[in-house]
Amino acid sequence: MPRLSRRALLIGSASLAATPAMGAIASSGYVDVIIVGAGAAGIAAARKLTAAGRRIAIVEAADHVGGRCITDTQTFGVPYDRGAHWIHMPDINPLAKLAAAARMEVYPAPPGQKLRIGRRFAREGEMEQFLSALVRTNRAIGEAARGKTDIACARVLPKELGELRPAVEFVLGPFGCAKDLSDVSAYDFAKSAERDVDAFCRQGLGALLARLADGLPIQLSTRATTVYWSDRSNAQVETTRGWLRAAAVIVTASTAVLTAEKIKFVPALPRRVLDAADRLRLGSYDHVALELAGNPLGLQSDEMVFEKATDNRTAAVLGNVSGTSLCLVEVAGRFGASLAAQGEAAMVDFAIDWLSDLYGPEVKKAVRRRHATNWAKEPLALGAFSAASVGGQPARRVFMEPANLRLYFAGEAAHETLWGTVGGAWESGERAADVILRRFWAPPSSSRRKR
């Protein structure tokens, strides 16, 4: 069914303790390409460029690689992806293919999902109604996207959804897009690729990225303060550790970081770029992670459960992650953002009360360790992932195109069909690297050699 997914121990710790090739280049100097950010897009671009024999420098403001994809093994003693966790469409996802070579285990997610109605699961007929409602809603948004004018997804929801409407809106909006459907472009929604087959990395998706970054010349805890990109001879980046010069710069910062002007650009970024970043604002999507002793939810490994909710105060639960006692309660959209604004204690209280309402008071007795993410307050991200506002879908093309000969962008927002995914960020990084290689180091054509 389309658009339902948005989604050893020692190896998993690699995301928080990666050992990239620090010192592989001088902290100041000339390289071929400078990459700002060591998330999925930056790592992908770096691997492509180094494979082509180019000399690169990657500057990363954090003390670890991964960006919005990081695996933590300290909090619960098992791999816990604080950010992205799902590997969508593993048959064609480049990360799934690279995992085998990196000796990381990628395994299929269970097909389908469950629906909780009060303290019981939906019966077969009720589940069919829910799935049918999702399919009809997807179809309605797709039909609206063929119109001449973009509109919000919420405006075209089928009227006959009835009491299933809150659940459908949560699954397709906050859970799938990190925003309520009233804030999502029908064009952007319809253009995104289906993500109905998924997989997980047993050691953690962030750990996989860290493994793929091994050996790259990454300067951690090094913030890019200013990017100079108009010089005809080279581009320059001022960092907290000195200056770098190169033929080109790839910036992988989130749209929220760009609009917050956390990085200065000289000259200032064109208005079209800033407008594009504003139209691709990051939504809210956070995990409330709970260690539940004794499996009080009675779920199998990696089972996904939604609620037949009555309003937007709802969530999803991913049970027994990779066969552990760790469960993720996913809160997102406007309600998730308001909850996160109240802090970790409020998020944990909501998650425990919500599960207790659905499964009984024994859940509270089973809770051991707990943790909640808050991506909106992470200064190097300032949100979860992008979904275009009404009229904003063309903004993705702006980020896919070079600003000029020297400046390029990459990241999940710079992908028209895989936005919001690690796979999309990876492909955007490879695309930016390919463009740079063709522009600066393409072999001479046969006709040119004859001359």
| pLDDT single digits (tens) 52-69 | 999 999 999 999 999 999
Token duo for residue 291: 């260690």
In a domain, 92, yes or no: yes
Average pLDDT of the residues of the chain: 93
In a domain, 354, yes or no: no
Domain count, the chain: 1
Token duo for residue 265: 């650009």
In a domain, 17, yes or no: yes
The string of pLDDT tens digits covering residues 356-380 is 999 999 999 999 999 999 999 999 9
The string of pLDDT tens digits covering residues 384-414 is 999 999 999 999 999 999 999 999 999 999 9
Q: For 367, phi and psi rounded to 5 degrees?
A: -70, 130
Name the percent of the chain lying above pLDDT 70.
Answer: 92
* pLDDT over 70 (residue 354): yes
Is the preceding peptide bond at 267 cis, omega within 30 degrees of 0?
yes
In a domain, 68, yes or no: yes
- pLDDT at position 445: 65
User: Tell me, what CATH number does 71's domain have?
Assistant: 3.50.50.60
In a domain, 418, yes or no: yes
- Structural domain harbouring 223: 9-107+202-281+381-441
Contact 349, 315 (CB under 8 A): no
Is the preceding peptide bond at 379 cis, omega within 30 degrees of 0?
no
Dist. CA 342–CA 374, nearest whole Å: 10
In a domain, 366, yes or no: no
In a domain, 159, yes or no: no
Region 16-29 average pLDDT? 47
In a domain, 412, yes or no: yes
